[in-house]
Amino acid sequence: MIALGCDHGGYELKEAIKQMLSEKRIEYKDYGTYNKKKVDYPEFALMVAESVKNGESQSGILCCGTGIGVSIAANKVPGIRAAAVSDVFTARATKQHNNSNILCLGGRVIGVGLALLIVEEWLNAEFQGGRHQDRINMISKIEEKYTGNN
């Protein structure tokens, strides 16, 4: 299952992604927001990140105005590797090399057509492991250093 979340700046993008996932028969859970009323993105980023962290969802997709705010907020949750992406190459690379578990998109940065291509590329890409896993292990050690979780 994929956890979805957005603020008002990413609402239209999230709705388009929901439609695409439904058409592809990919299960998702929508954590909101559910309209264009102004809200605070960290609240939704946290819900999606916790869903991924706790194993309720396999991965997540977050949308805000730029994709940056939700990525910063989601990355505060240990074990989350949220990547703000605005092109197809980066979508593939962040899964293959960084094993990103949350994709972050900007509703004010990219159009719906490009966003859907990015989502599809990210969903279809596979983590390559090897030297990339070594780097993820290094990232985990940084998290441990600052969270005290050894």
For 61, other C-beta atoms within 10 Å of its C-beta total 29
The kind and range of the H/E element at 84 are strand 82-84
- Which residues are designated catalytic? 64, 97
Which residues are CB-contacts of 63 (< 8 A; sequence separation ≥ 6)? 5, 6, 7, 9, 10, 11, 13, 14, 17, 70, 104, 105, 106, 107, 115
Q: Do residues 103 and 88 make contact, with C-beta atoms less than 8 angstroms apart? A: no
Facing residues of 83 across strands? 103
Name the token pair of 70: 């939700």
CA 11 to chain centre: 14
